[in-house]
Amino acid sequence: MTATAERVARNASYTLAGNLVASIAGAVSSVVLARLLGPPAFGTYALVLSSAGILGLLASLGVPHGATKYVAEYQGRGESGTAGQVLAALVRLEAAMAIAVGAAAFLLAPLLQRVFEAPGFATAFRIAAAGLVPATLAGLLLAALQGLQDYRRVTLISLASTLFLLSATVGLLAAGAGVAGAVGALAAAATLSGLLGWRALRHHLRLPLRGCRLPGSARAKLRRYVPTVSLVLLLDTVVWQRSEVFFLGVFRTPQEVAWYALAFGAAATLMRLLPRALSFVLPPVASSLYGAGDREGLQTLFDVGSRYVLMLAAPLVVGGALLARPLLTSLYGERYGPAAAVFPLLLAAAGAGAVGSVTAGIQNGIERQDLVLKVALVATVVNIVLDITLIPRFGLSGAAVANAAAQVGAVAAGIVLTGRVLGIRFPTRDCLRVLAAAGASGLPAYGVAATIGGVRGLAAAVAAAAVAYPVALLAAGALRTSDVERLQAARDALPGRLRPGYGGLLRLAARWTA
3-state secondary structure 226-260: HHHHHHHHHHHHHHHHHHHHHHHHHHCCHHHHHHH
- The backbone torsions φ and ψ at residue 439, rounded to the nearest 5 degrees and listed phi first, read -65, -40
* 5 belongs to a structural domain: no
> Which of the listed residues 428, 459, 479 is the one where a domain comes to its end?
428
The count of other CB atoms within 10 Å of the CB of residue 463 is 12
User: In 3D, which of 437, 408, 445 has the Cα closest to residue 319?
Assistant: 445
Say whether both 120 and 262 belong to one domain: no
pLDDT digits (tens, 9 = 90+) for 363-414: 877 777 778 778 888 888 898 999 999 999 999 999 999 999 988 998 999 8
Q: pLDDT band at 119, cuts 50/70/90?
A: confident
The backbone region for 181, taken as left when phi is positive above 0, alpha when psi lies in -120 to 50, beta otherwise, is alpha
Residue 183 CB neighbour total at 10 angstroms: 26
Are residues 148 and 42 located together in one domain of the fold? yes
Residue after which a domain boundary falls, among 375, 394, 428: 428
Q: Is residue 1 part of a domain?
A: no
Query: Could you tell me the maximum CA-CA distance found in the chain, to the nearest angstrom?
Result: 69
Q: Output b/e per residue, 21-58; b: 16+ Cβ within 10 A.
A: bbbebbbebbbbbbebbebbbbbbbbbbbbbbebbbbb
> Cβ(460)–Cβ(448) under 8 Å?
yes
Number of domains in the chain: 3
Q: Are residues 39 and 166 in the same domain?
A: yes
Domain boundary among 365, 398, 428: 428
Extract the runs of DSSP E, i.e. beta strands, from 12-106: none
Question: Does residue 158 have a pLDDT over 60?
Answer: yes
Predicted local confidence at residue 387, as pLDDT: 93
Same domain, 372 and 449: no
Greater model confidence, 173 or 371: 173
- Coil vs helix vs strand at 474: helix
Q: Is 474 part of any domain?
A: yes
Phi and psi (nearest 5°) for 343? -60, -45
Give mean pLDDT, residues 65-87. Answer: 79
**Looking at per-residue confidence, does 151 or 416 come out higher?**
416
CA gap 72, 391 in Å, rounded: 42
Q: Are residues 400 and 299 in the same domain?
A: yes
List Cβ neighbours of 127 (8 Å cut-off, separation of 6 or more).
180, 183, 184, 187
Most confident of 34-38, 208-212, 446-450: 34-38
Q: What is the C-alpha separation between 312 and 511, in angstroms, rounded?
A: 23
Based on the fold, state whether residues 398 and 505 are members of the same structural domain.
no
Backbone angles phi, psi at 117, to 5 degrees: 55, 45
**Is the residue at 179 inside a domain?**
yes
Is 506 part of a structural domain of the chain? yes
Residues 112 and 19 in one domain: yes
Residues 221 and 291 in one domain: no
Q: Does pTM top 0.75 for this prediction?
A: no
Asked if 244 and 100 touch (Cβ cutoff 8 Å), the reply is no
> Do both 424 and 385 map to the same domain?
yes
| Higher local confidence (pLDDT), 171 or 86 | 171
Contacts of 202 (CB under 8 A, 6+ apart): none
pLDDT for 511 equals 57
Nearest-angstrom CA–CA distance, 198 and 369: 28
Share of the chain above pLDDT 90, in %: 24
Convert the pLDDT of each residue in 305-328 to its tens digit: 888 889 889 998 998 888 888 889
- The pLDDT score that the predictor gives to residue 385 is 93
> What CA–CA distances, in Å, run from 340 to 88, 112, 280, 455, 471?
46, 29, 28, 16, 29
65 and 143 in contact (C-beta within 8 Å)? yes
Give pLDDT, residue 188: 94
28 with 126, same domain?
yes
- Would you say 355 and 210 are in contact if contact means Cβ atoms under 8 Å apart? no
Q: For the ranges 115-119, 177-181, 213-217, which has the lowest average pLDDT?
A: 213-217
**Interior angle at CA 20, CA 19 and CA 24, nearest 5:** 110
**Could you give the C-alpha distances from 465 to 82, 200, 442, in angstroms and in order?**
49, 40, 6
The pLDDT value given to residue 105:
92
Confidence band for 206, pLDDT divided at 50, 70 and 90:
confident
For residue 377, give every residue at least 6 positions away whose Cβ sits within 8 Å of its Cβ, in sequence order, or none: 235
Does residue 200 contact residue 153 with C-beta atoms inside 8 Å?
Answer: yes
Average pLDDT over residues 230-234: 71
Residue 248 lies in a domain: yes
- Name the residue type at position 145: L
What's the domain range around 442? 429-513
The answer to whether position 4 is within a domain reads no
Give the whole-angstrom CA distance, residue 458 versus residue 446: 9
Integer Cα distance of 355 and 415 in angstroms: 9
Residue 6 lies in a domain: no
Distance (Å, whole) CA 143 – CA 390: 37
424 and 464, same domain (yes or no) = no
Kindly state whether residues 62 and 118 are assigned to the same domain: yes
Q: Is 211 left (phi over 0), alpha (psi -120 to 50) or beta?
A: left
Angle (CA) 284-286-288 rounded to 5° is 70
What pLDDT sits at residue 271?
84
Across residues 452-476, what is the average pLDDT? 84
